Chains A and B, each alone.
Chain A
Amino acid sequence: MKSDRRHFLKAAGVATIGVAAGATAAEANLLDSAKELLLGPKGAAPYPEAKKGARWAMVVDTRKLTAESMEKMIHACNHAHNIPLHPLRKKGDKYNKDEIKWIWEEEFENAFPGQMNEHLPPKVTQNEVLVLCNQCENPACVRVCPTKATFQREDGIVIMDFHRCIGCRFCMAACPYGSRSFNFKDPRIASLEINPEFPTRMKGVVEKCNFCAEQLDKGLQPHCVEACKNGELVFGDMNDPESEIRKVLRNNYTIRRKPEVGTQPQVYYIV
Chain B
Amino acid sequence: MLEKALTGDSKYWGWIGFLLLLIAVGFGAYLRQFNEGLTLTGLSRDVSWGFYIAQLTYLVGVAASGVMLVMPYYLHDHKAFGKITILGEFMAVGAITMCLLFVLVDLGQPMRMMNMIIFPTPNSVLFWDMVVLNTYMFLNIIIGWTVLQNERKGIHYQKWVKVLIYLSIPFAVSIHTVTAFLYAGLPGRHFWLTAIMAPRFLAGAFCAGPAILLLIVFFLRRFTSFDAGDKAIKSLAVIITYAMILNVFFLLLELFTAFYSQLPGHMHAFVYLFAGLHGGHALVPVMWASVILAVIVLILLIPPKFRNNYNLLIPALIMLVLSTWLEKGVALVVAGFIPNPLEHVNEYAPTLNELVISVGVYAVGALIVTVLYKIAIGVKAEVGDAAH
Residues of A within 8 A of B (CB): 9-10, 12-14, 16-17, 21, 23, 25-26, 29, 89, 94-101, 106, 109-111, 113-114, 131, 140, 143-149, 164-170, 172-178, 181-186, 202-206, 258, 261-263
Contact of A25 among B48, B49, B118, B344 (CB under 8 A): B118
Give the total of B residues in contact with A, Cβ under 8 Å.
Answer: 53
CA gap between A14 and B119 in the complex, in Å: 8
B120 x A110 contact (CB < 8 A): no
A174 x B186 contact (CB < 8 A): yes
CA gap between A114 and B106 in the complex, in Å: 33
B122 at the interface (CB under 8 A from A): yes
Closest Cβ of chain A to B256, distance in Å, is 22
CB-defined contacts of B336 to chain A, threshold 8 Å? 173
B38 at the interface (CB under 8 A from A): yes
Can you report 21 residue pairs joining A to B where beta carbons are below 8 Å apart? A16-B120, A29-B120, A95-B344, A97-B42, A109-B343, A110-B344, A113-B343, A164-B112, A165-B108, A165-B109, A165-B112, A168-B106, A173-B183, A176-B186, A182-B43, A184-B37, A185-B36, A204-B107, A258-B188, A258-B341, A261-B188
Contact of B117 among A21, A101, A110, A165 (CB under 8 A): A21
CA gap between A148 and B117 in the complex, in Å: 11
CB-defined contacts of B113 to chain A, threshold 8 Å? 166
Closest Cβ neighbor of A106 among chain B residues: B342
CB-defined contacts of A106 to chain B, threshold 8 Å? 342
Closest Cβ of chain A to B27, distance in Å, is 18
CB-defined contacts of B48 to chain A, threshold 8 Å? 169, 172-173, 182
B235 at the interface (CB under 8 A from A): no
CB-defined contacts of A9 to chain B, threshold 8 Å? 122-123
B124 x A99 contact (CB < 8 A): no
CB-defined contacts of B120 to chain A, threshold 8 Å? 13-14, 16-17, 26, 29
CB-defined contacts of B264 to chain A, threshold 8 Å? 113-114
- Within 67-93 of B, Cβ neighbours of A (below 8 Å) are at none
CA gap between A148 and B119 in the complex, in Å: 7
Task: Provide the main secondary structure of the chain A interface.
Answer: loop
Closest Cβ neighbor of A167 among chain B residues: B108
- Within 41-81 of B, Cβ neighbours of A (below 8 Å) are at 41-46, 48-49
CB-defined contacts of A173 to chain B, threshold 8 Å? 48-49, 183, 186, 189, 336-337
B119 x A177 contact (CB < 8 A): no
Contact of B49 among A169, A261, A262 (CB under 8 A): A169
Closest Cβ of chain B to A133, distance in Å, is 12
Contacts A146-B126, A148-B121, A169-B108; A182 near B343 (Cβ below 8 A): no
Complex A-B, nearest 5 residue pairs according to Cβ-Cβ distance, in ascending order:
A167-B108, A176-B188, A204-B108, A13-B122, A97-B44
Contacts A167-B108, A170-B126; A144 near B342 (Cβ below 8 A): no
B45 x A182 contact (CB < 8 A): yes
Contact of B187 among A21, A114, A262 (CB under 8 A): A262
CB-defined contacts of B123 to chain A, threshold 8 Å? 9, 143-144
- Within 117-176 of B, Cβ neighbours of A (below 8 Å) are at 117-127, 130
- Within 172-216 of B, Cβ neighbours of A (below 8 Å) are at 182-183, 185-189
CB-defined contacts of B103 to chain A, threshold 8 Å? 168
B46 x A178 contact (CB < 8 A): yes
B308 at the interface (CB under 8 A from A): no
A166 x B116 contact (CB < 8 A): yes
Closest Cβ of chain A to B64, distance in Å, is 21
B37 x A185 contact (CB < 8 A): yes
B115 at the interface (CB under 8 A from A): yes
Supplied contacts A169-B48, A178-B340, 18 more A-B pairs, CB within 8 Å: A13-B121, A23-B117, A94-B347, A95-B344, A97-B43, A99-B45, A113-B342, A143-B123, A144-B125, A146-B115, A146-B130, A170-B125, A174-B187, A176-B187, A177-B341, A203-B37, A204-B109, A262-B187
B126 x A178 contact (CB < 8 A): no
Closest Cβ of chain A to B341, distance in Å, is 4
Closest Cβ neighbor of B41 among chain A residues: A184
CB-defined contacts of B46 to chain A, threshold 8 Å? 95, 178
Contacts A173-B49, A185-B39; A146 near B124 (Cβ below 8 A): yes
CA gap between A56 and B189 in the complex, in Å: 27
Contact of A175 among B106, B125, B265, B341 (CB under 8 A): B341
B346 at the interface (CB under 8 A from A): yes
Closest Cβ of chain A to B209, distance in Å, is 25
B116 x A147 contact (CB < 8 A): yes
Closest Cβ of chain A to B115, distance in Å, is 4
Contacts A97-B45, A204-B109, A205-B108; A29 near B119 (Cβ below 8 A): yes
A143 x B124 contact (CB < 8 A): yes
Closest Cβ of chain A to B191, distance in Å, is 11
Contact of A145 among B45, B124, B185, B187 (CB under 8 A): B124
B37 x A183 contact (CB < 8 A): yes
CB-defined contacts of A89 to chain B, threshold 8 Å? 39
CA gap between A167 and B264 in the complex, in Å: 31
B115 x A149 contact (CB < 8 A): yes
CA gap between A40 and B124 in the complex, in Å: 22
Closest Cβ neighbor of B106 among chain A residues: A168
Closest Cβ of chain B to A102, distance in Å, is 12
A164 x B115 contact (CB < 8 A): yes
- A-facing mask of B298-309, CB < 8 A → 1, else 0? 000000000000
A144 x B107 contact (CB < 8 A): no
Contact of A263 among B49, B187, B337 (CB under 8 A): B187
A147 x B119 contact (CB < 8 A): yes
